[in-house]
Amino acid sequence: MKLLTVVGARPQFVKAATLSRAIARHNAAGARPAIEERIVHTGQHYDPNMSEVFFDELEIPRPAFHLGIGSGPHGAQTGRMLEAIEKVILAERPDAVVAYGDTNSTLAAALAAAKLHVPVAHVEAGLRSFNRAMPEEVNRVVADHVSARLYCPTATAVENLRREGIVEGVEQVGDVMYDGMLHYRAKASRTILGALGLVPGGYVLATVHRAENTEPRPLRAIAAALAEAAAVAGAVVLPLHPRTRAILESESIVLAPAVRAIEPTPYLEMIALMASARAIMTDSGGMQKEAFFLEVPCLTLRGETEWVETVACGANRLVGTDPASVRAAFEDIAAGRLRADFSSRPYGSGHASEDIVESLAAAFAEGAR
């Protein structure tokens, strides 16, 4: 049985790595059908430290196809991907196409496959922010509606799909990022703390990259919020997405001296930075969950989240971009008022990737279709 996995952006490399390992285990155990996985990298992320470094350190099999699409406006970028992915699907004739999450690479993979009547397996299906202004929301809604197999991380995701009339092919398997964290946590590269002169608990780790947050106005507010955080925690470490760096520079937004902008960080170093932070401030979806897995308080620089379980248990607070909300949140952290119940297990038991592989094997084995 042949799977074509399409990835393109940083968070997808982490998710795909986990599934590739589960496929390798399935094959090594002699389970049937044997699964051949061919990886397509769209090239949505192309800077070496946004892409290559992940393939190296996460031991992801090399992509069989590198489409080299690069950046561009949404329509142009997605359109170029569609055309290129279609060619690969026609040449490879896979039994299914596997797509992850909510990026333009996900949308292109799902559409290209569905149009060629190749079943789409969507990993991280059913997530909703209910904010259609986000490109990711449009991508995930469309991807879910053309998918044959929908692998949901949470009960909320299953319910979101049910409300949209999608019940066939839906399975709650848990979150592949939780599987990944259990695997990579032991490999976290702590040398970065020493290299940056950081002590555990002595800094806040922040990331900002969302389209809505990298407009000049919200980015100015976030810069002020980061200054608030640095004043309380001593320092903020800010691995900078290339787009965020570009807007900071073009708009001459100056970061407070205690806010240290660094290059995008390899994953194993990022885990170490997250695990030892006093708190995490982010607009990333993945980091909200990683903060939860590592039991570090998270302040989300958005008005809503797809990962509602982290908020419900008190581990995550939606602070938007308002510096006053950030200051209030840090006062609550200092006073021990941001208390979380990390014992709830909303993201599964760490076997999501195995369950997905076994489900795919059963669904697409010869004769099963």
| Footprint on this chain of ligand UD1 (rule: CB under 6 A) | 9-11, 44-47, 50, 71, 102-104, 135-136, 209, 242-243
CB of 6 to ligand UD1, least distance (A): 12
CB of 103 to ligand UD1, least distance (A): 3
How many alpha carbons lie under 13 Å from residue 93 in its C-beta half-sphere? 0
CB of 130 to ligand UD1, least distance (A): 16
CB of 123 to ligand UD1, least distance (A): 14
CA-wise closest residue to 175 among 23, 353, 5, 306 = 353
- Residue 308 CA to residue 154 CA, distance in Å, equals 10
The backbone torsions φ and ψ at residue 336, rounded to the nearest 5 degrees and listed phi first, read 70, 20
User: Tokens 């599964």 label which residue?
Assistant: 348
Active site residue 209: yes
CB of 283 to ligand UD1, least distance (A): 9
CB of 127 to ligand UD1, least distance (A): 11
CB nearer to ligand UD1: give 71 or 191.
Answer: 71
- Residue 125 CA to residue 357 CA, distance in Å, equals 15
Strand order in the sheet with 149-152: 65-66, 36-41, 2-7, 96-100, 120-123, 149-152, 170-172
CB nearer to ligand UD1: give 74 or 369.
Answer: 74
The backbone torsions φ and ψ at residue 283, rounded to the nearest 5 degrees and listed phi first, read -115, 10
Q: Read out DSSP for 312-356?
A: HTTSEEE-TT-HHHHHHHHHHHHTT-----TT--TT-SS-HHHHH
- Residue 1 CA to residue 218 CA, distance in Å, equals 47
What is the 8-class DSSP label of residue 365? S
CB nearer to ligand UD1: give 103 or 230.
Answer: 103
CB nearer to ligand UD1: give 136 or 309.
Answer: 136
Q: Which two tokens stand for residue 30?
A: 């002699």
Q: Where are the beta strands (DSSP E) in 94-239?
A: 96-100, 120-123, 149-152, 170-172, 204-207, 236-239
Question: Are 104 and 132 spatial neighbours (Cβ–Cβ below 8 Å)?
Answer: no
CB nearer to ligand UD1: give 91 or 133.
Answer: 133
CB nearer to ligand UD1: give 108 or 229.
Answer: 108
Sign of CA dihedral 176, 181, 183, 187: positive
User: Tokens 């952006």 label which residue?
Assistant: 9
CB nearer to ligand UD1: give 100 or 330.
Answer: 100
Catalytic residue among 45, 122, 209, 241: 209
- Residue 61 CA to residue 41 CA, distance in Å, equals 11
Beta bridge partners of 97: 4, 120
Question: Are 3 and 37 spatial neighbours (Cβ–Cβ below 8 Å)?
Answer: yes
CB of 71 to ligand UD1, least distance (A): 3
| Parallel/antiparallel/unpaired status of strands 96-100 and 170-172 | unpaired
Query: What residues are labeled active site?
Result: 209
